Amino acid sequence: MRKLLSSCMAVTLVLAIIAFGCNDKNVIPAKQYAVEDFFRNPEKVNFTLSPDGKYYAYMAPYKDRLNVFVQEIGKTEAVRLTSDTARSISDFFWGSNNRILYLKDTGGDENYKLFGVDISGANLKGLTDFEKVRTTIIDDLPDIDEFVIVGLNKRNPQIFDPYRLDINTGELTMLAENPGNITAWITDHDGKLRLAISISDGVNNSLLYRNTEKDQFKTIITTSFKETLNPAFFTFDNKNLYAISNLGRDKTAVVEFNLEAGKEEKVLYENPQYDVDQLNYSRARKVLTGARYTSWKRERHFFDGGFEKLINDLKAKLGDIEFGITSSSKAEDVRIVLASSDKSSGTYYLYDQKTGKLEKIADITPWLDVNEMASMVPIEYKSRDGLIINGYLTLPKGYTIENAKNMAVIVNPHGGPWYRDQWGFNPEIQFLANKGYAILQMNFRGSTGYGKEFWQASFKQWGKTMQNDITDGVNWLIDKGIADKKKIAIYGASYGGYATLSGVAFTPDVYAAAVDYVGVSNLFTFMKTIPPYWKPMLEMMYEMVGDPLKDSVLLREASPVFFAKEIKTPLFVAQGANDPRVNINESNQMVEALKSRGVTVEYMVKQNEGHGFYNQENQFDFYNSMEKFLARYLKEDKK
């Protein structure tokens, strides 16, 4: 989600102060930005280096859509490689020094097709241009210029077969036929297909292994989906596996897994409080470099002194800001570094490791002044049944937890739900803070990063204890005097949209307004309309959310549409017509149920969108409408 400053800016500023209460006379309000400033396309984004380090590619607007450009390092002119005007390019990567590969879908249907184009702009070719087929990238084969390995569900829409793809001609060679239960394929460092993950009965995962591509896959370990054994990559001799695992422990850790024996050989790093979620290595030097975990910020553990020195050198140059290396040349002598914060969407730098020179390339959103943005601070509170719930509170510029009183608040539960909010720049949060609202985000039970027990505490708790965690956060804000209990709204997307509908259905007196963005309203119809490639995981969904037959009472009690008669909160619903995850009927049935009762509901449907609005003009329409809707119900004289 990603200038038109109003000539009436001064009037707008005064109205904002009146509406939301400038309860500290020492607070200087932030400069008021237009909605479009927060959600317009980035100036330049997603910089990646060619393998030889002589070029970088990036995405930038062309006719209001993000397209792919390539530029020789040291030169000022760029070549536009794509010219799509219907929808922005979804993603891209280097296939070789001379060829870029990119993915795009149609109208948000998520059936991604892979295309290839030379860096001169010539030889544009659809490589997986099949109707109603989704392309996944299994291995981009960085050491092999002519090929990549892709997964395609063209033989069976529910499963993906692996193919070796010639990036110049489009020739496909099937590497294995999915027997019907393989959910992931994994290659070794030579690009050989050696591992697979299967779901044999929908709830148990098996790791399948073969020593060579001539051998048959054999099952070496089977675990419940409630445990994690997530392959990262092979050891550098291609014999064992580095993995992220919580087998026999609550938090995920970095382990070395013996493939022949089918068991963990040793733990390389674990954090006692948080899940380790990422493992990195040097492809050039063939050593582990670092692991990542997230407390309230992303944090590193170093395995390698050379990488630690590199990070410390960059830290000395960049100062106190979060940063990461987003791309490296094959020799790892040239790097792309992205520095960002809660107030900055980010700045890209080119780093020459030989000379130590750090050169700024581009700001993502240079029109937003970081000094006018709001701070995102970590908070925690206790749920009614004793769990510690971590989250973030963003207050309008100038306010702190100490001086913020009786604020208008937007409660913003995240999607997933097996996901988590993180500290960093979020255009939605900054947009709402700029309009004078406080924003509460919480990592309710089920959020990832806090261990197995915290995650499993969410099972079959949609609309129940998971929703209580959200309500408890609202009460925490009220008890601290930060929130005006008459001026609290809830807004969320996907599962967050479900939580929004649950909030107004199950706690109808808490919220003054609500915005549901592609949210689930009926758990029975939701289960029936999931994408076909989710079907192998359906039994797992039944255990985590509820079985429509065995748990029919539970699912009915947790489906907001059946409690529409309880809803009295004004509601704004937004939906993409082509959404493959949350079918448009989820929104239709809720809107119809409310309108039949005369409840105020605004409904926005975009015919060329899917699970969330992607096109810039649709985002403008949505967020402008949201701003007006929220202001209507959270004004100062709300009684």
SS3 141: coil
Cβ-count burial of 509 within 10 angstroms (0-12 exposed, 13-18 middle, 19+ buried)? exposed
| pTM of this structure | 0.93
What is residue 24's predicted lDDT score, i.e. its pLDDT?
61
Q: Which residue in the list 206, 383, 579, 587 is annotated as catalytic?
A: 579
> Residue 378 domain-assigned?
yes
- Indicate if the pLDDT at residue 19 is higher than 90: no
Residue that is written with structure tokens 């050379």 in the block? 306
Q: Give yes or no: 579 in active site.
A: yes
- Indicate if the pLDDT at residue 636 is higher than 90: no
Nearest Cα neighbor of 46 from 116, 85, 7, 103 is 103
> Residue 452 domain-assigned?
yes
Torsion on CA atoms 525, 527, 531, 532, rounded to nearest 10: -120
Q: Give yes or no: 341 in active site.
A: no
Strand-pair category, 357-363 with 376-382: unpaired
- Contact (CB, 8 A) for 488 and 479: no
> Residue 30 domain-assigned?
yes
Label residue 353 by pLDDT band (50, 70, 90): very high
Q: What's the token pair of residue 175?
A: 């590497």
CATH code at position 426? 3.40.50.1820
Q: Starting at the earlier edge strand, list the strands of the sheet with 263-269.
A: 229-234, 241-245, 253-258, 263-269
Label residue 23 by pLDDT band (50, 70, 90): low
Spatial distance between the Cα atoms of 427 and 458, rounded to a whole number of angstroms = 28
- Indicate if the pLDDT at residue 4 is higher than 80: no
Which amino acid makes up residue 282? S
Total length of the chain: 639
Q: What's the token pair of residue 383?
A: 């749920």
Label each residue of 358-378 as H, E or C.
Answer: EEEEEECCCCCCHHHCCCEEE
Spatial distance between the Cα atoms of 24 and 379, rounded to a whole number of angstroms = 22
What is residue 600's predicted lDDT score, i.e. its pLDDT?
85
> Residue 264 domain-assigned?
no
Q: What Rg value do the Cα atoms of the chain yield, rounded?
A: 25
Averaged pLDDT for residues 46-64: 98
φ, ψ at 523 (rounded to 5°)? -70, -25
Count of domains in the chain? Answer: 1
SS3 218: strand
Mean pLDDT, the chain, rounded, equals 94
Contacts of 122 (CB under 8 A, 6+ apart): none
Strand-pair category, 601-606 with 78-80: unpaired
> Residue 377 domain-assigned?
yes
pLDDT in tens, 354-406: 999 999 999 999 999 999 999 999 999 999 999 999 999 999 999 999 999 99
- Contact (CB, 8 A) for 195 and 206: no
Nearest Cα neighbor of 589 from 548, 622, 610, 559 is 559
- Contact (CB, 8 A) for 602 and 571: yes
φ, ψ at 314 (rounded to 5°)? -65, -40
Label each residue of 156-182 as H, E or C.
Answer: CCCCCEEEEEECCCCCEEECCCCCCCE
Q: Starting at the earlier edge strand, list the strands of the sheet with 298-302.
A: 276-282, 287-294, 298-302
What is residue 17's predicted lDDT score, i.e. its pLDDT?
29
Label residue 301 by pLDDT band (50, 70, 90): very high
Q: Which residue in the list 458, 494, 521, 587 is annotated as catalytic?
A: 494
- Indicate if the pLDDT at residue 479 is higher than 90: yes
Averaged pLDDT for residues 234-241: 98
The Cα-based distances of 171 to 5, 19, 101, 165 in angstroms read: 51, 62, 15, 6
Helix residue ranges per DSSP H, 529-611:
538-544, 552-557, 584-595
The Cα-based distances of 632 to 12, 186, 495, 626, 638 in angstroms read: 14, 52, 25, 10, 9
- Indicate if the pLDDT at residue 3 is higher than 50: no
> Residue 576 domain-assigned?
yes
A 10 A CB-CB count for 257 gives 24
Bond before 417 cis per omega within 30 degrees: yes
- Indicate if the pLDDT at residue 204 is higher than 70: yes
Range of the domain at 429: 9-39+369-633
Could you tell me the maximum CA-CA distance found in the chain, to the nearest angstrom? 75
Q: Which residue in the list 344, 472, 521, 611 is annotated as catalytic?
A: 611
Spatial distance between the Cα atoms of 429 and 52, rounded to a whole number of angstroms = 39
What is residue 8's predicted lDDT score, i.e. its pLDDT?
32
Q: How far apart are the first and last CA of the chain?
A: 33
Q: What is the DSSP string of 469-480?
A: HHHHHHHHHHHT
What is residue 543's predicted lDDT score, i.e. its pLDDT?
96
Q: What's the token pair of residue 336?
A: 């792309």
pLDDT in tens, 586-615: 999 999 999 999 888 999 999 999 999 999
> Residue 258 domain-assigned?
no
Q: What's the token pair of residue 272?
A: 């006692």
- Indicate if the pLDDT at residue 234 is higher than 50: yes
Which amino acid makes up residue 230? N
What is residue 13's predicted lDDT score, i.e. its pLDDT?
29
> Residue 602 domain-assigned?
yes
SS3 214: coil
3-state helix, strand, coil in the chain (%, to 5): 20, 35, 45
What is residue 25's predicted lDDT score, i.e. its pLDDT?
64
Q: What's the token pair of residue 465?
A: 């204890």
Determine which of 20-24, 295-299, 480-484 has the lowest per-residue pLDDT on average: 20-24
Averaged pLDDT for residues 448-452: 98
A 10 A CB-CB count for 110 gives 17
- Indicate if the pLDDT at residue 51 is higher than 70: yes
Averaged pLDDT for residues 544-564: 97
Q: What's the token pair of residue 467?
A: 């929703």
Q: What's the token pair of residue 234?
A: 């092979």
Question: E strands within 191-331?
Answer: 193-199, 204-209, 218-224, 229-234, 241-245, 253-258, 263-269, 276-282, 287-294, 298-302, 322-328
- Indicate if the pLDDT at residue 340 is higher than 80: yes
